[in-house]
Structure 1
Amino acid sequence: MDMSQARWRKSTRSGNNGGACVEVADNLPGVVLVRDTKDRAGGMLTLMPDAWAGFVGLAKRIGPVG
C-alpha cells in the first residue's frame, strides 16, 4: 500500500500542549494510520478502521486523562 498518499490531521483539541499529540490519516482504503507529532519520521501504527473506531469510542466515554 502506498502510504505517501496519507492525509494527516491533528485533533482540534490538541492546542499548544508541547507536542504531546498524535496525527491520524484515515483517507486510505482499509487502514487508519496514527503517528506521533514529535517524531513524524519515527514510524506509525496501522489499524483496521473498526479497531480505530472502537478506540475513539472508548476514549470519548472515558474522557480526558491527566
Structure 2
Amino acid sequence: MKHKPPTFTRGYNPEGAVNWLEEVEIIFEAMGCSEENKVTLGAYVLREEANHWWKNARQRLGAGGAVI
C-alpha cells in the first residue's frame, strides 16, 4: 500500500494544522511508525512557511527536544 501524505504549507492556520495532523497520524498508524520516525516523516511534508518554522524550531531544540 502506498501512502501519499498531505503537505502543509500555510502560516498561521490552526484549523488547517489540526486537519493536516489528523491525516498524517492516520498514515503513521497504518505504517506502524515509531515516534522518532514520525518527526522525521512529518517534517518531510512541511512546505513553505511551515518548513521555515520547523527549521527555526529545530535550531532552538537541543538533544531530546529540550529548549536551548
With normalisation by structure 1, the TM-score equals 0.30
Higher helix share: 2
Higher relative contact order (CA 8 A, sep 6+): 2
Higher strand share: 1
With normalisation by structure 2, the TM-score equals 0.30
